[in-house]
């Protein structure tokens, strides 16, 4: 367009899909209505909307003299097909902070090994050397097993603490 404004067309299937941008400003706030933040992977980000774009019109309605609520209402009235006219970088907005650097140890995750794995790791070399197998709960006599693994007469396992 001649005045440096561009058209951005936003289309979605239904109202459950968010547009993906944050609108701020209005005559009631003393700032022009503008795009404060855009999610780059959202509908608006894919359509080319950028942080700091001043919204001149929503649909056919000129919003340069509108309150924030009036502009918001017009977005809702437009439904799933919204045509915006914007002026690029008309309002300076704070840039998103750079991502945090990765920790040198590769992340916050610890290498956790379950106790069963630790026992097997210790017993497998001994069992392989003797040609046998690692120890098992079933090697113990039924009376020596913990209360947790004993069964009642029906054959079902008891819950821990169940009599």
Residue with tokens 């002026």: 87
Alpha helices by DSSP H, the chain: 43-47, 68-78, 115-130
State the pLDDT at residue 22.
92
The verdict on domain 5-87 having CATH code 2.30.42.10 is yes
State the pLDDT at residue 56.
93
State the pLDDT at residue 57.
93
Going by C-alpha positions, the residue among 61, 60, 66, 59 that lies closest to residue 24 is 66
- Conformation bin of residue 63: beta by default, left when phi > 0, alpha when psi is -120 to 50: alpha
Instruction: Please give the average pLDDT of every successive group of 10 residues along the chain, which has 163 residues.
Output: 79 88 90 90 91 91 91 90 88 61 60 74 76 66 57 56 59
Where are the domains positioned within the chain? 5-87, 115-149
């Amino acid at each position: 367009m001649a005045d440096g404004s561009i058209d951005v067309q936003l289309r979605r299937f239904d109202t459950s899909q968010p547009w993906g941008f944050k609108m701020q400003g209005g005559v009631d706030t003393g700032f022009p209505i503008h795009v404060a933040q855009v999610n780059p992977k959202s509908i608006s980000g894919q359509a080319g909307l950028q942080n700091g774009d001043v919204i001149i019109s929503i649909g056919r309605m000129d919003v340069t003299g509108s309150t924030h609520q009036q502009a918001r209402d017009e977005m809702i009235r437009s439904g799933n097909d919204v045509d915006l006219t914007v002026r690029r970088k008309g309002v300076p907005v704070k840039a998103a902070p750079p991502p945090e650097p990765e920790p040198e140890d590769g992340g916050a995750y610890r290498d956790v090994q379950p106790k069963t794995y630790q026992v097997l790791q210790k017993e497998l070399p001994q069992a392989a050397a003797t040609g046998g197998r690692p120890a098992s709960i079933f090697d113990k006599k039924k009376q020596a097993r913990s209360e947790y693994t004993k069964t009642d007469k029906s054959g079902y396992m008891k819950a821990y603490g169940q009599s």
